[in-house]
Amino acid sequence: MAAIDATRHRIDPPLERIPEVGRIPAGSPIEARLEKIWETAPGWRGWLSTVDHKTIGVRYLVTAFLFLVIGGIEALFLRIQLAGPDMAFLTPEQYNQLFTMHGVTMIFLYALPVLSGFSNYLWPLLLGSRDMAFPRLNALSYWIFLFAGLFMYISFPLGQAPNAGWFNYVPFSGPVYNTGPNIDVFALGMVLLGISTTVGSVNFVVTLFRMRAPGMTINRVPILVWGTLTASVANLFAIPAVSLAFFLLWLDRQIGAHFFDVANNGQPLLWQHLFWIFGHPWVYVVVLPAMGIVSDALPTFCRRPLVGYTAVALATMATMLLGFGVWVHHMFATGLPTVALSIFGAASMVISIPSAVAVFAWIATIWLGKPVFKTPFLFFAGFVALFIIGGMSGVMTAAVPLDWQLNETYFIVAHLHYVLLGINVFPVVGAIYYWFPKFTGRMMSEKLGKWSFWTMFIGFNAGFFPMHIAGLLGMPRRIYTYPSRMGWDEVNLITTVGSFIFAVGVLIFLVNVVLSLKRGTRAGANPWDAPTLEWAVSSPPPAYNFATIPTIASRHPLWEGRIEGEKEHTRTRLEEGYLLMRGRETLGTSPIDAKPVVILKMPEDSYTPFLVGLFVSLLFVGLLLHSWTFTALMAALSCAALSVWMWPRRNLGQRTARHDPASARRGGKGP
Amino acid sequence: MKASKSGFDSRPAIKNLRFRITLLAPSMVAARPSEAADTLSTPLNYFLHSYGPAATPVMHLGWLMTALLSAITLIVILLLVIAIVRKRSSADSGMIGAESGGLKWVYIGTGISTFILAGLTVHFLTVLNAVAKPTETPVLTLTVTGYDWWWNIEYEHGDPAKRFVTANEIHIPVGRPVLLKLKSADVIHAFWVPVLAGKTQMIPGLVNQKWIQADVPGIYAGQCAQFCGAAHAHMNLEVIAESDRDFEKWQEAQRRTAFPVSEHNEHGYKLFMDRCGGCHAVRGTEAEGLHGPDLTHLNSRGRIAAGLLTNTPDHLMEWITRAQYFKPGARMPSIALSDSEASALASYLSTLD
């Protein structure tokens, strides 16, 4: 294997210090040194101060799953109430709070965070980096997410949970018709959550463009990365709309502003525009990374690379761009002019085309491959089926006059659960089965895995397919009860039974996770014989991810030399690369062609993200309680903690002169 | 299965008063037996039933899209299943399939999808155009205002003396387009009588327009279709389509003021003015309240409490005394009445024909 010529990669401006190139044999003392540099302190100190993307990723996953379970239990309560006509299991107010919190939880506290979890954990490993671009921002993003979730949930035991639906239309959520603190909790919680999502998104965008291993050009990044990248860019444009909307609502409610108040020339329709300009892209934010998971993991089980990589990557971006143009399709019934409806209806049809690209690419991948029927494959194949059904019902809602009937009925409930459960939960559960060995070093039980898949798949379809029928029979959404003789009794009973079967499936999955943590068979570095870079490191990965930064030469570095018809191979270098170990260092590369540009000095662990997150969250508690002194105090503490965070540190500076011979000597053995 | 002592228990009471079959009037059952038999069980079913030109093209669009998209779904899922189970030649386990190839799937699949989507788009735009406006000028203009949780209906007329107000029940002449101006008095509601037309939101500060037309006489069920609070589930209405003659007769009746008070119900009248007149109006009396439904011809309506109960004297008194039990959060309070007060009030209300 030829040695890497470090200078070959030099571009302007050149690296200030040209790092040594070399190998680090497994078990060498250099690894121990790297471990020491990157490891997190033990005990509670490390727990609060860690900025390790893997720890944060796992935290995101675990927290999001807790919220999934809570949101699921809420759904089961709703389904008990709707199991038959004229049930009196819940009061209308309880029902309204439960369906609101179910939506809020699943959309904001499960669906996006769980994908952030995967991306946080996997991105640096997939990209051949040692961490995300801004590790502390990453930690902050998690803490604020956690606190925002707790903030919204504390309202529940107090009986003051949000009760106006996750869409929270004014004026019902305004000061006149909703006098309790319920909506303030939601409004403030959403602004808080917006901070978390925004800093997280900034981190993903910069990580993609600057943190890829040399040679991982933009056309070699995994589709998951494309999915999270486009979702993050979308977040940066969409979150301001919703944060603004909720902030305006809060002003309306607290200081008597009149943004949405008709009596003072406010405009309730403004809310719907602001909310859906955010809300529609958000639908894609919570499915594109999940589709990326499938695009990356399905080929492993098909024993061939994904068909149409470029087409799928472009489809991902096209979906996101179009996603911004179709928010009005949530507002077809608001009395907008027919011309506007025609344009947005047609645009909503167009958005199905990129989805078709992805679906046919997956089917072709399975068709042309030699599938291995492991549990993750079942979940991914099941996902493709659900995606097709959810996509087709979506096409029906794009047809404006038909949507005038379908909208606000159970048909939409069916559609959105096929889309969100089908396109988010199935890939996510499949992905847990897939990456569990990477996360924990142990395999999950295949036997329980297959049970969990079939129970979930059957329960899901039994539960949600009849909702289409209920919708066509005219059953409106968000009604807490219905009389018999409407023709809805049977479908609702079947739905309720199905939802419980689905819940049993989720339970089997969770049992599998818990059992496999202790008893799962040991997994090697690459138990699935997968092609992507995260499988090149041990399971679980070392704190520093890669001893040397690898050099990438293809989309499937671990399959090089084994793909039929591929002549050139062994171009990717995994063992040999830049030796970076003067403190926490990783390589910064150029945005498109991933040429090494800079040695990045990564920050040490720090309490400041936790403290900033805590104080900012308490600031919101102060706002909720109208305790202005407390709010001011927390604002001051937040600023203080931020100052400590931002204080310039000498050890992060690039102060080394070029061609420092001393560093070359310390840097390790050359080739 | 039916459970829980806690909370709002509407069951036993409502159960007795179970919803009357709402879609078609008994007379129509005789006239159109086969359709009536289907619709009786699903009064809001817009997928198999439509009774007007604003709904029928949409129903056909729904059939077309359902059939076409179901067929496509089945074909694509079939492809997926075949892709999974089809036999493969046992190959060298160490080798991985080639990266190239398979793009034909994407080209053909996406090409066909695009073609079908384009066709559907043209078609639904045509349907949209067809149902957006009636072909003839509407003969009647109504203003429907959504309240928490009932509907106020004003019949407009060039002659102010001929205007009148009613609630929760819309009468229209059969076979004629009727223009609806949709408003809201509080939060966002949506007007939806599925077998006559799709839904339209009623947004405070805006006046949305829609039109309906019923080609067949009958009673058509409607329901608020935008979440509007605690009793959203109990915000129903009925549209009654009748012949021109019946409709004119009904209008004439509605335009009359209430019957004058006679001696034997004077006590009930006074009670009504004291306890009810602040919120409810009865034309021709001192009751001019605007917070609740106009009760001038209360007894002409089939249902009370926005469709929750059939309009019988017993239900009426039950509603008055236990309104908060039936519709928690409604502006109508539960009114405590002694037996003598109740019978006096009932006696007066029975004159509101």
Look at the block and give the residue holding tokens 């525009």. A273
- Given phi > 0 = left and psi -120 to 50 = alpha, else beta, which region is A174? beta
Q: Which amino acid is at B247?
A: F
Q: Does residue B125 sit at the A interface (CB-CB below 8 Å)? A: yes
* Tens digits of residue pLDDT in A444-503: 999 999 999 999 999 999 999 999 999 999 999 999 999 988 999 999 999 999 999 999
For residue A411, being part of any structural domain is answered with yes
pLDDT at B19 over 70: no
DSSP states along A219-284 = GGS-HHHHHHHHHHHHHHHHHHHHHHHHHHHHHHHHH---TT-GGGT--HHHHHHHHHHHHHHHHH
Q: For residues A183 and A174, give the distance between their C-alpha atoms in angstroms, rounded to a whole number.
A: 8
* One CATH from 3.90.1560.10, 2.60.40.420, 2.30.30.240, 3.40.50.170 for B38-80+124-255: 2.60.40.420
CB interface of B with A, residues 179-238, below 8 Å: 182, 186-188, 190, 192, 194, 197-201, 203-206, 208-209, 223-233
Select the residue of A266, A384, A393 nearest B80 (Cβ to Cβ): A384
For residue A437, being part of any structural domain is answered with yes
pLDDT at A569 over 80: no
For residue A9, being part of any structural domain is answered with no
Tally of CA atoms within 13 A in the half-sphere of A190 that contains its CB? 29
- For the ranges A61-65, A296-300, A494-498, B21-25, the lowest mean pLDDT is seen at B21-25
CB contact under 8 Å between B3 and A88, yes or no, is yes
Claim to verify: residue A287 and residue A145 sit in the same structural domain: yes
CA angle A201, A150, A140 (to 5 degrees): 35
CB contacts of B91 in chain A (<8 Å) are 370
Q: For residues B192 and A486, give the distance between their C-alpha atoms in angstroms, rounded to a whole number.
A: 15
From residue B175, give the alpha-carbon distance in Å to each of A105, B22, B39, B211.
48, 20, 20, 12
Instruction: Take residue A488 and report the two structure tokens written for it.
Output: 């809805």
State the pLDDT confidence band at B199, using cuts at 50, 70 and 90: very high
**Inter-axis angle of helices A112-127 and A53-82, to 10 degrees?**
150
**Searching chain B, which residue's CA lies closest to the CA of residue A563?**
B96
CB contact under 8 Å between B42 and A473, yes or no, is yes
- When the pLDDT of each residue in chain A is averaged and rounded to a whole number, the result is 91
Q: Does residue B66 sit at the A interface (CB-CB below 8 Å)? A: yes
User: In terms of Cα–Cα distance, which of A203, A201, A215, A307 is closest to A533?
Assistant: A215
Claim to verify: residue A497 and residue A627 sit in the same structural domain: no
From residue A328, give the alpha-carbon distance in Å to each of A145, B239, B264.
29, 30, 59
Select the residue of B4, B224, B227 nearest A88 (Cβ to Cβ): B4
**Inter-axis angle of helices A223-255 and A268-285, to 10 degrees?**
160
User: Which distant-in-sequence residues (6+ apart) come within 8 Å of A389 by Cβ?
Assistant: A418, A422, A465, B73, B77
CB interface of A with B, residues 158-177, below 8 Å: 164-165, 169, 171-172, 176-177
For residue A211, being part of any structural domain is answered with yes
pLDDT at A141 over 60: yes
pLDDT for res A15: 62
pLDDT for res A570: 62
pLDDT for res B92: 62
- For the ranges A81-85, B20-24, B232-236, the lowest mean pLDDT is seen at B20-24
State the pLDDT confidence band at A14, using cuts at 50, 70 and 90: low
pLDDT for res B93: 67
The domain boundary residue, chosen from A487, A519, A551: A519
From residue B320, give the alpha-carbon distance in Å to each of A165, A440, B45, B333.
30, 65, 32, 8
C-beta separation of A49 from A40 below 8 A: yes
Site from B78, B96, B184, B234 to mutate, A interface, most A CB atoms within 10 angstroms = B96
For residue A86, being part of any structural domain is answered with yes
Mean pLDDT score, A568-592: 85
pLDDT for res B91: 61
For residue A107, being part of any structural domain is answered with yes
Query: A438: domain CATH number?
Result: 1.20.210.10
CB contact under 8 Å between B200 and A404, yes or no, is yes
Q: Does residue B86 sit at the A interface (CB-CB below 8 Å)? A: yes
| ipTM (interface pTM) | 0.91
The domain boundary residue, chosen from A489, A519, A549: A519
The C-alpha of A480 sits at a distance from chain B's nearest C-alpha, in angstroms, of: 6
Q: For residues A70 and A91, give the distance between their C-alpha atoms in angstroms, rounded to a whole number.
A: 20
CB contact under 8 Å between A369 and B120, yes or no, is no
Look at the block and give the residue holding tokens 């931020």. A642
* Tens digits of residue pLDDT in A289-320: 999 999 999 999 999 999 999 999 999 999 99
- Of residues A50 and A156, the one with the higher pLDDT is A50
* Tens digits of residue pLDDT in B149-194: 999 999 999 999 899 999 999 999 999 999 999 999 999 999 999 9
Q: For residues A211 and A218, give the distance between their C-alpha atoms in angstroms, rounded to a whole number.
A: 12
3 state DSSP class of A587: strand
pLDDT for res B17: 35
pLDDT for res A669: 36
Q: For residues A116 and A110, give the distance between their C-alpha atoms in angstroms, rounded to a whole number.
A: 10
pLDDT at A171 over 60: yes
pLDDT for res B16: 35
Q: Architecture of B265-350 per CATH? A: Sandwich (2.60)
For residue A554, being part of any structural domain is answered with no
- When the pLDDT of each residue in chain B is averaged and rounded to a whole number, the result is 86
User: What long-range pairs does B341-344 form, CB within 8 A, spacing at least 24?
Assistant: B341/B271, B342/B317, B344/B265, B344/B267, B344/B268, B344/B271
pLDDT for res B22: 38
pLDDT for res A653: 63
- Residues paired with A351 in a beta bridge: none
CB interface of B with A, residues 130-169, below 8 Å: 131-132, 148
Select the residue of A88, A398, A484 nearest B10 (Cβ to Cβ): A88
* Tens digits of residue pLDDT in B57-108: 999 999 999 999 999 999 999 999 999 999 887 766 678 888 888 899 999 9
Mean pLDDT score, B15-43: 42
For residue A34, being part of any structural domain is answered with no
Domain count for chain A: 2
Of how many residues is chain A composed?
671
Start and end residues for every CATH 2.60.40.420 domain found in chain B: 38-80+124-255, 265-350
pLDDT for res A87: 92
Mean pLDDT score, A337-361: 95
Helix, strand, coil content of chain B in percent (nearest 5)? 40, 15, 45
User: Which distant-in-sequence residues (6+ apart) come within 8 Å of A93 by Cβ?
Assistant: A163, B230, B328, B329
Most confidently predicted of A395-404, A563-572, A588-597 = A395-404
Site from A169, A276, A336, A405 to mutate, B interface, most B CB atoms within 10 angstroms = A405
Q: How many CB atoms neighbour CB A14 within 10 A? A: 14
- Of residues B235 and B264, the one with the higher pLDDT is B235
Q: Pinpoint the alpha helices (H) of B32-155.
A: 33-41, 56-85, 103-132
pLDDT for res A568: 64
pLDDT for res A660: 45
Q: For residues B76 and A361, give the distance between their C-alpha atoms in angstroms, rounded to a whole number.
A: 12
Helix (H) and strand (E) counts in chain A: 22, 5
Q: For residues B4 and A94, give the distance between their C-alpha atoms in angstroms, rounded to a whole number.
A: 13
Of how many residues is chain B composed?
353
DSSP states along B185-243 = SSS-EEE--TTT---EEE-TT--EEEEE--SS-EEEEEE--S--STTGGG-EEEEEEE-
State the pLDDT confidence band at A651, using cuts at 50, 70 and 90: low
Mean pLDDT score, A282-294: 94
- Residues paired with A22 in a beta bridge: A577
* Tens digits of residue pLDDT in A266-280: 999 999 999 999 999
Look at the block and give the residue holding tokens 């400590």. A644
CB contacts of A500 in chain B (<8 Å) are none
CB contact under 8 Å between A360 and B105, yes or no, is yes
pLDDT for res A667: 41
pLDDT for res B32: 36
First to last CA, chain B: 42
* Tens digits of residue pLDDT in B314-326: 999 999 999 999 9
Helix, strand, coil content of chain A in percent (nearest 5)? 65, 5, 30
The domain boundary residue, chosen from A461, A485, A519: A519
Sign (positive/negative) of CA torsion A199, A205, A210, A214?
Answer: positive
Q: Which domain holds residue A631?
A: 608-646
* Tens digits of residue pLDDT in A371-391: 999 999 999 999 999 999 999
pLDDT at A655 over 60: no
pLDDT for res A429: 97
State the pLDDT confidence band at A21, using cuts at 50, 70 and 90: confident
C-beta separation of A417 from A401 below 8 A: no
CB contacts of A86 in chain B (<8 Å) are 2, 10-11, 14-15
pTM assigned to the model? 0.91
The C-alpha of A264 sits at a distance from chain B's nearest C-alpha, in angstroms, of: 10
Mean pLDDT score, B229-235: 93
